[in-house]
């Protein structure tokens, strides 16, 4: 009953008004109409009083004053009609907003509640929030994965639709990473918990969707401020109209018709519906002002590895230097990269594991973003990274070694150079296949209004140009450090472009933060990249990028349509009141009809 109390108020007041009409001409008519106005008007008056206590002149204040005035001049039907129509419109608005929030509510309903944990030889069921990092979680058919982690045993098909919008299940096995909220459709898994509780991808998704729906775009913030001075202006104008014409009914009609109900709901309905639609498709837009910025993007910058490529690089060549062999070179590389999150590090570690090569223990370790990794071991300092990394640490390359590097780069391989104790130890050539959907995504970007694409990559120029030529990217800037990427983004912004940056690695985070719009590849992206992003693609599908831009533009277009319609209706009705062509009940009916049209227009965004 609490959920539908507005409908109950409308039904009760409507019944009284209907009974009054049947007794028109009798003394009971005015009594019943007044009771109908009081029942429908009470919740409106309470909202008006709450606003006044907070020194806010609200729309309910206009309706309350108009209803009291109508009763005072014994126009009880007008008072009942005004309050009834307002409460009915408010109920329909609540009903619509409730529906547009269905995406968030369905996400919350899908939240994992319990988890099965292996503790010794026992299998214990606990609340999902009680799982600790490092524990092993067992997932059986029908279970929701309660943590983000890595599969250590078993195989299963996981439904990830709630997270990524992907309709087909994903097959996972040992070594694969799984996300909380995925549902096992069959099989058995043991998962080593890495991120738990509020840190899981699913919990963060719920939080970010809720936060996005609460944030307001500039136009909505303007409309909120507009209501603060609009209400007293309408009241003052109505008073002036009465003083000038001595027509109470005209002044009251002006007061009621001036309520900008459609204007108030013009933005929030469209924004919430659009963001809910995006979330169901695996596109997480962080809402508010970002919507307007996304819609204005005309230049997109892209990282290469993990963004335009599949993010699953493979070691394709191993060339030792200086007396090292393949095994010793791989041992050095795996030792330095064992703590790194980078895609190239994962390729090196996977290749070493396949050949049975294990990394050595590491003392001190550090990551130089955009350059490589440094590890201190018993054998000395190990460097793994690009040419600039070795140069920065005083490691010189011989002409013969330079020739080997140039040949590998000419083949389009990304080079990971390895050094031990200040001397080159060899190189690993790594290739990463281009995403099959990358070319189609670039074409869709142009159709969405993006005029130029620029690749910003830390990779060497030959590999970058090979990918750019295959995909039709307009400009390539290779060999960039994180600082260089930031400088490149700022240079493009200085030329007047609204720049979107697509990236996924920790070295992309500074450029993502600098760009006007940051788009992170959520499935393979690092936490740092996802946290600074305005848009996160939960499924890592590149075609979602132009969809996000197109949907943002569509949301803002609907907001502008709603605002234009609301303003036009108010102006036309007020003109009709002043010229005595529009009267209270008819004007209120048109007013509420405009509110419903605005709501329905916003609800179109719930569809794909």
* Residues 573-590 pLDDT 10s: 888 888 888 876 677 778
Largest Cα span, the chain? 112
In the predicted model, is pLDDT for residue 527 greater than 60?
A: no
How much is the pLDDT for 418? 94
pLDDT band at 288 (very low <50, low <70, confident <90, very high): low
Average pLDDT score over residue span 27-45: 89
In the predicted model, is pLDDT for residue 217 greater than 60?
A: no
**pLDDT > 70: percent of the chain:** 85
Average pLDDT score over residue span 506-526: 70
Per-residue pLDDT tens digits for 128-183: 888 888 899 999 888 888 888 899 999 888 877 656 545 557 788 888 888 887 88
Task: Tell me which of 143, 159, 303, 504 is the catalytic residue.
Answer: 303
- What is the overall mean pLDDT for the chain? 81
Instruction: Please check whether residue 538 is in contact with residue 163, taking contact to mean a CB–CB distance below 8 angstroms.
Output: yes
Cα angle 302-553-227, degrees, rounded to a multiple of 5: 130
The most confident of the ranges 60-64, 192-196, 417-421 is 417-421
Q: 62 or 102: whose pLDDT is higher? A: 62
Q: 253 or 488: whose pLDDT is higher? A: 488
- Alpha carbon distances (Å) from 466 to 307, 392, 539: 15, 27, 26
User: Which residue from 192, 183, 207, 172 is spatially nearest to 110, judged by alpha carbons?
Assistant: 183
In the predicted model, is pLDDT for residue 396 greater than 80?
A: yes
How much is the pLDDT for 536? 78
In the predicted model, is pLDDT for residue 330 greater than 90?
A: yes
Q: 589 or 184: whose pLDDT is higher? A: 184
How many residues are recorded in the chain?
A: 608
How much is the pLDDT for 191? 92
Q: Is 325 a catalytic residue?
A: no
Instruction: Please check whether residue 266 is in contact with residue 223, taking contact to mean a CB–CB distance below 8 angstroms.
Output: yes
Average pLDDT score over residue span 434-440: 85
For 388, other C-beta atoms within 10 Å of its C-beta total 16
How much is the pLDDT for 524? 47
Average pLDDT score over residue span 218-226: 62
How much is the pLDDT for 525? 44
Per-residue pLDDT tens digits for 335-349: 999 888 777 888 899
In the predicted model, is pLDDT for residue 96 greater than 60?
A: no
The SS3 call for residue 542 is coil
């Amino acid at each position: 009953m609490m959920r539908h109390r507005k409908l109950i108020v409308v039904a009760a007041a409507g019944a009284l008004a209907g009974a009054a009409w049947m007794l028109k001409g009798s003394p009971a008519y005015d009594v019943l109409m007044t009771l109908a106005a009081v029942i429908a008007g009470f919740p409106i008056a309470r909202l008006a009083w709450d606003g006044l206590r907070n020194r806010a002149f609200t729309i309910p204040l206009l309706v309350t004053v108009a209803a009291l005035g109508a009763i005072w001049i014994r126009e009880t039907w007008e008072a009942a009609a005004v309050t009834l129509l307002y409460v009915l419109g408010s109920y329909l608005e609540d009903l619509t907003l409730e529906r547009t929030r269905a995406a968030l509510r369905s996400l919350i309903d899908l939240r994992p509640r319990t988890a099965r944990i292996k503790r010794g030889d026992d299998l214990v069921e606990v609340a999902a929030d009680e799982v600790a990092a490092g524990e092993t979680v067992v997932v059986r058919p029908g279970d929701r994965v309660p943590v983000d982690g890595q599969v250590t045993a078993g195989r299963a098909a996981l439904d990830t639709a709630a997270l990524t919008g992907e309709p087909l299940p994903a097959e996972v096995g040992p070594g694969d990473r799984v996300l909380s909220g995925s549902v096992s459709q069959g099989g058995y898994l043991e998962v080593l918990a890495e991120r738990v509780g509020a840190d899981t991808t699913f919990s963060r998704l719920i939080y970010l969707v809720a936060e996005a729906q609460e944030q307001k775009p500039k136009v909505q913030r303007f409309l909120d401020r507009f209501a603060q001075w609009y209400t007293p202006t309408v009241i003052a104008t109505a008073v002036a109209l009465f003083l000038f014409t001595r027509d109470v009914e005209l002044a009251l009609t002006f007061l009621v018709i001036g309520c900008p109900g459609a204007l108030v709901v013009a933005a929030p309905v469209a924004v919430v519906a659009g963001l809910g639609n995006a979330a169901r498709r695996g596109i997480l837009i962080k809402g508010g002002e970002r919507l307007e910025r996304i819609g204005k993007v005309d230049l997109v910058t892209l990282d290469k590895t993990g963004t335009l490529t599949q993010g699953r690089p493979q070691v394709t060549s191993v060339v030792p230097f200086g007396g090292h062999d393949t095994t010793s070179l791989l041992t050095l590389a795996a030792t330095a990269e064992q703590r790194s999150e980078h895609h190239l590090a994962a390729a090196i570690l996977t290749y070493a594991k396949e050949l049975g090569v294990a990394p050595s223990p590491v003392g001190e370790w550090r990551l130089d973003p955009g350059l490589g990794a440094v590890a201190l071991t018993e054998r000395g300092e190990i460097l793994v990274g690009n040419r600039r990394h070795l140069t920065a640490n005083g490691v010189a390359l011989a002409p013969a070694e330079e020739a080997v590097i140039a040949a590998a780069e000419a083949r389009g391989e990304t080079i990971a150079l390895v050094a031990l104790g200040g001397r080159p130890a060899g190189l690993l050539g790594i290739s990463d296949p281009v995403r099959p959907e990358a070319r189609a995504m670039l074409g869709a970007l142009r159709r969405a209004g993006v005029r130029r694409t620029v690749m910003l990559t830390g990779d060497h120029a030959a590999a970058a140009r090979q990918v750019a030529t295959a995909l039709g990217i307009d400009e390539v800037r290779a060999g960039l450090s994180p600082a260089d990427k930031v400088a490149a983004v700022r240079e493009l912004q200085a030329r007047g472009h609204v720049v979107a940056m697509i990236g996924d690695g920790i070295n992309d985070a500074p450029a993502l933060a600098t760009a006007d719009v940051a788009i992170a590849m959520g499935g393979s992206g690092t936490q740092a990249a996802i946290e600074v992003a305005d848009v996160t693609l939960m499924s890592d599908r590149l075609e979602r990028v132009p969809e996000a831009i197109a949907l943002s533009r569509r949301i803002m277009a609907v907001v502008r349509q709603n605002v234009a319609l609301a303003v036009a209706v108010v102006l036309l009705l007020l003109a009709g009141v002043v010229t005595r062509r529009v009267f209270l009940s008819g004007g209120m009916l048109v007013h509420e009809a405009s509110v419903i049209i605005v709501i329905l227009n916003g609800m179109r965004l719930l569809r794909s």
